[in-house]
Structure 1
Amino acid sequence: MVFFVKKKVGTMLTPASNKQMKEWRKLTRKKYRHQFNRYLIEGDHLVEEAIRSGLAIHELIATEEALERYEATLQGRDVYIISKQVAEDISDTVTNQGIFATIDMPDLQIELADMTQILVLDAVQDPGNVGTLIRTADAAGFQAVILGQGTVDLYNSKVLRSAQGSHFHMPIIEADLQQWIPQAQAVGFDIFGSCLDERAKPFKEVTSPSKFALIVGNEGNGISADVLAQTDHNLYIPMKGQAESLNVAIAGSILMFHLAS
């Protein structure tokens, strides 16, 4: 399948091969993302943010229409050209922008001794919640995010869209929380759990120490009992109205900005 396009000055345009298009379709599934150690992003904002962050982009992909519309983003770069149909096949949105990129998954390490504020997610399953929490952690000045067992895949397209590029700005790793928490405590971290139990205090009564990690839990079940048993302090947000609780992304955002202040 070949597409003839007008070449932009300084831009190398190449028709995408059938093999590439099959691989891009596979990247919409977690199994293949981890098999290829690569993930797909879509939309001008994410692609532009990836370029601005200095990431080693594996492939830039665009329709002819997107090539015209996002010329400023794509100018001077090698671009693989696809049809509108292929764009629809690899997109997770109803109306896609026709611009994509593939990026190799980074091999990240976290140096706990160099950090002071970390967000920890314990089995948070909704992609929108995870993306929003990552974005808020970035905005609040947190330096890393830890994804505990049962948390949705970081490279899920809905997570990436909700995070709006914040995953480019700080290390985000998966970890066994029962092993990670003692490691953090050993280098001076206080571990806070977002939980309403007999140990919990209203969040405004809590003063953050110099080094801390905040754990937020699963949407329905909260923080698991095994993880909760390892926290140093627990805190909660008092409800003034008739709502019983807040969405985990909203609650986590409030607590992050409070502890970071």
Structure 2
Amino acid sequence: MTPISSLANPTIKHAAALLTQHRIRKKSGQTVLEGVHLIEAAIKQNFTIKQIIIGQSALSHPEVAGLIEQIAQSIILATDAVYKQIRSLGTGVDIMAIVEIPTPALGVITSDCLILDGLQDLGNIGTLLRTASAVGISTIISTTGTAHLWSPKCLRAGMGAHFSLAIFEQVDYEAILQKVKIPLYATSSHTDKVIYQHNLTQPIAWVLGHEGQGVSEIFLRTATAIALPQPNGQESLNVGVAGSVCFYEMLRQRQFAQH
């Protein structure tokens, strides 16, 4: 296999654009997974791998060899110099995959879900997806204006959680309120009723809002507001932490409460 040595190669150019430009990801309906772990997670969930790009030195790596055995799709080899110019990760195993972004249609929701309302920090979003998946929340809805959940940075933060979730992106408020048929719960600083005073054993739609502005008024009008205790007087918690606290209190009430 002759390695590609030019950045002008169409596949190399496309991968570089997908890694850096939301516009290209949206137009093509594709994104990039970097590293062995994410690619393995995608394969386990039967995601279709469109293209694999491997840095020349990584070809002999045992983890890469194992992946190649599982993938029948097209594999191209790039010189180390070319690969290093397009990757967004630091030093590691130089392998990336181009995959299709799922675009499922939102149906009626009657089981636990997470609504991301205007969040912008991709690290926070990835953390929330990872934690939601860990506790058994499998449906994720993002409102218009929320950052792109399938960006490479968010995928890395999610550590493979994306592939076990049903993700519905850029859904308008009216559609969400129409389709979500379970109670909405939103973190808020305008209530004195803390999370431990709420019964969280029924299906819940958790609403987590923009890092600075919080949950939109349209959701607050219909959601049950919950407070997270902060006895040391901090103004607020990081949204990734706040969501994780909520999810695990829900899990505790359902599976680990004292009887």
TM interval, shorter chain, is 0.7 to 0.9
CA distance, structure 2, for counterparts of residue 76 and residue 203 of structure 1: 45
Q: Does 1:146 align with 2:146?
A: no
Check the 8 A contact 2:106/2:179 in 1, yes or no.
no
- Cα-to-partner distance string for 1:60-111 (whole Å, 9 max, x where unaligned): 1111222211211222534210122332233222324211000011121344
Check the 8 A contact 2:54/2:96 in 1, yes or no.
yes
Q: Does 1:206 align with 2:201?
A: no
Match of 1:58 among 50, 65, 69: 50
CA distance, structure 2, for counterparts of residue 72 and residue 17 of structure 1: 29
User: SS of the counterpart of 2:39?
Assistant: helix
Give 1:86's aligned residue: 82
Q: How many correspondences in the alignment?
A: 245
Give 1:71's aligned residue: 65
Deviation at 1:180?
0.8
Give 1:3's aligned residue: 3
Give 2:257's aligned residue: none
Check the 8 A contact 1:117/1:143 in 2, yes or no.
yes
- Cα-to-partner distance string for 1:107-161 (whole Å, 9 max, x where unaligned): 2134435x41001111110000000000111001002011112211012111000
Tell me the TM-score normalized by structure 2.
0.87
CA distance, structure 2, for counterparts of residue 193 and residue 123 of structure 1: 13
Match of 1:120 among 115, 119, 143: 115
CA distance, structure 1, for counterparts of residue 70 and residue 133 of structure 2: 30
CA distance, structure 2, for counterparts of residue 104 and residue 124 of structure 1: 23
User: SS of the counterpart of 1:27?
Assistant: helix
Match of 2:186 among 165, 186, 193: 193
Residues 92-107 of structure 1: pairs in structure 2 closer than 5 A: 92-107=88-103
Give 1:254's aligned residue: 245
Give 2:219's aligned residue: 227
Deviation at 1:30?
0.5
Q: Percent identity?
A: 27
Q: Give 5+ residue unaligned stretches, structure 1.
A: 5-14
Check the 8 A contact 2:120/2:147 in 1, yes or no.
yes
CA distance, structure 2, for counterparts of residue 211 and residue 32 of structure 1: 37
CA distance, structure 1, for counterparts of residue 44 and residue 103 of structure 2: 20
Runs of 4+, deviation exceeding 6 Å = none
Q: Aligned Cα RMSD in Å?
A: 2.2
CA distance, structure 1, for counterparts of residue 70 and residue 203 of structure 2: 44
User: SS of the counterpart of 1:55?
Assistant: coil
Give 1:12's aligned residue: none
Match of 1:46 among 1, 14, 38: 38
Tell me the TM-score normalized by structure 1.
0.87
CA distance, structure 2, for counterparts of residue 248 and residue 119 of structure 1: 13
CA distance, structure 2, for counterparts of residue 156 and residue 254 of structure 1: 25
- Cα-to-partner distance string for 1:186-219 (whole Å, 9 max, x where unaligned): x3x0011111214x52000111252220001111
